[in-house]
């Protein structure tokens, strides 16, 4: 018979634990959910980046992924629905020394907060945006979102979605993001690396992570358990760096293109502000 090991009897602390608010555990995420996996990757990424944790701030919106802000032992903001990016913009501009990471879900960042997403990318605000895409509004019970593939089922699309979902890498690139990558919760090493690159990137960097939502999206669409979904990600991901983001559309149960798609240089908003100020001060204003 299996003996349960008391937590205090463990010889080693989980290396991720110092970064988590363990007093808030157990977390609300379901068994098989991919959000915890992405948090694990993120913690390893910030550890490898050797960032001064006093100068790192996490901003989340509302939803299952919105809980990330509350579970990380860092300065964090759990903002109103969809508004993580404007909150983060204020944080970054008022204190440019801060490394600001927006960590939220597809429903929050791309649907109700979509306007802020495109404008922050356009301005090239110095932010890293990590979008956990589980293809539905999970916290409210699995409603169709602006990322749900055509023909997939949700509680607000009982006969299947008819609206074209967003292609997030293409959206981010076309609005001006300087770094764009997509991985699934299966690709933990690549995802960690992408997070490191995004955090170190100047300007608006964006990482999309495709995750399982076994309680809602997978169950309603009869796609199996969280583990089945990870196997599916493994078998159906096509790693293709530098793919033209126009080809990154996601179709229901069709292979998902992963990789680093965009890595370009562009002056950030702060640089542009300072350049303009300098120009005005020196009297060279046109």
Interaction between residue 90 and another protein (CB under 8 A): no
CB-wise, 153 or 269, nearer to another protein? 153
Contacting residue, 111, 168, 177, 216, with another protein by CB under 8 A: 111
Q: How many C-alpha atoms does 6 have within 13 Å on its Cβ side?
A: 2
Judge whether 178 and 171 are in contact, CB under 8 Å. no
269 phi-psi bin (left φ>0, alpha ψ -120 to 50, beta other): alpha
Region near another protein per CB under 8 A, out of 91-99, 137-145, 171-179, 270-278 = 137-145
> CA-to-CA distance for 174 and 176, rounded, in angstroms?
5
Interaction between residue 141 and another protein (CB under 8 A): yes
CB-wise, 61 or 203, nearer to another protein? 61
Interaction between residue 86 and another protein (CB under 8 A): no
Tell me the number of residues near another protein by CB under 8 A. 19
181 three-state secondary structure: strand
Region near another protein per CB under 8 A, out of 96-104, 157-165, 188-196, 226-234 = 157-165
Angle at alpha carbon of residue 243, lines to 64 and 197, rounded to 5°: 55
> CA-to-CA distance for 184 and 234, rounded, in angstroms?
9
Minimum separation from the CB atom of position 184 to another protein (A): 24
Contacting residue, 163, 244, 247, 278, with another protein by CB under 8 A: 163
> CA-to-CA distance for 66 and 145, rounded, in angstroms?
16
Q: Which residues bind another protein (CB under 8 A)?
A: 78, 80-82, 111-112, 114, 137, 139-141, 143-144, 146, 155-158, 163
């Amino acid at each position: 018979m299996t003996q349960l090991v008391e937590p205090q009897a463990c010889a080693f602390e989980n290396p991720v634990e110092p970064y988590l608010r363990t007093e808030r555990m157990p977390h609300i995420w379901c068994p098989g959910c991919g959000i915890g996996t992405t948090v694990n990757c993120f913690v390893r990424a910030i550890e490898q980046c050797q960032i001064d944790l006093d100068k790192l701030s996490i901003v989340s919106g509302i939803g299952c992924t919105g809980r990330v802000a509350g579970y990380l032992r860092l300065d964090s903001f759990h903002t109103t629905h969809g508004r993580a990016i404007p909150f983060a913009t204020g944080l970054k501009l008022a204190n440019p020394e801060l490394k600001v990471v927006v960590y939220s879900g597809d429903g929050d960042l791309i649907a109700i907060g979509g306007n802020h997403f495109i404008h922050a990318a356009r301005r090239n605000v110095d932010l890293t945006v990590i979008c956990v895409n589980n293809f539905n509004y999970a916290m409210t019970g699995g409603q169709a979102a602006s990322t749900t593939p055509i023909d997939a089922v949700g509680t607000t699309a009982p006969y299947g979605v008819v609206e074209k979902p967003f292609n997030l890498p293409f959206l981010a690139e076309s609005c001006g993001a300087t770094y764009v990558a997509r991985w699934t919760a299966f690709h933990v090493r690549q995802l960690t690396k992408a997070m490191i690159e995004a955090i170190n990137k100047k300007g608006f960097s964006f990482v999309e992570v495709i995750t399982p939502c076994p309680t809602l999206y997978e169950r309603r669409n009869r796609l199996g358990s969280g583990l089945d979904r990870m196997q599916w990600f493994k078998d159906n991901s096509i790693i293709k760096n530098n793919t033209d983001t126009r080809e990154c559309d996601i179709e229901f149960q069709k292979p998902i293109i992963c990789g680093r798609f965009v890595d370009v240089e562009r002056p950030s908003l702060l640089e542009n502000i300072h350049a303009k100020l300098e120009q005005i001060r020196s009297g060279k204003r046109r």
